[in-house]
Amino acid sequence: MFLHFNYWDELLDMQDVMGTDLKWAATLVARHLLAAADRYALQRLRTICESQLCEGISINTVATNYALAEQHHCFQLKSAYLKFISLPENLKAVMETDGFDYLKEGCPCLLSELLEYVVRLSEHSLASLGHGKELYVDGCDVMGDE
């Protein structure tokens, strides 16, 4: 696929190449092509791969792809992953994946960045509720008032 892109400036259809239309296969190839595009400074291929990875975000791949985006300095892709992971309906499911375990063990800085992002979102949500309102969770005043 990499050589085909270099000669023809286009990517082959994943279904034709792999004989399948499974999203995980396209994601896997896009991951490898992104690494090659970064290594050989092929900006157009890099953009195509980032687009495919952004379209194929899933619970099972987002954590490892988040690390990949950091490794290859794909800031817009990384931002999309942060937003996806931080959604309340996604966060718990992502935390149960092997990819999240990989972040904990191999990428503690990324895990910290993710936690900071979630905290900022929470603070923004609390602030948008209005000033002077008290919030109680399990009987505790989370605004610090007694």
Q: What's the pLDDT tens digit per position in 61-72?
A: 999 999 999 999
pLDDT over 90 (residue 16): no
In 3D space, the residue among 58, 45, 62, 42 whose CA is nearest the CA of residue 102 turns out to be: 62
pLDDT over 60 (residue 129): yes
The CATH fold of domain 2-129: 1.25.40
In 3D space, the residue among 17, 11, 18, 16 whose CA is nearest the CA of residue 34 turns out to be: 11
- Can you tell me the mean pLDDT for 7-29? 63
pLDDT over 80 (residue 7): no
What pTM value is reported for the model? 0.75
Taking the C-alpha atoms of residue 107 and residue 11, their distance in angstroms, rounded to an integer, is 31
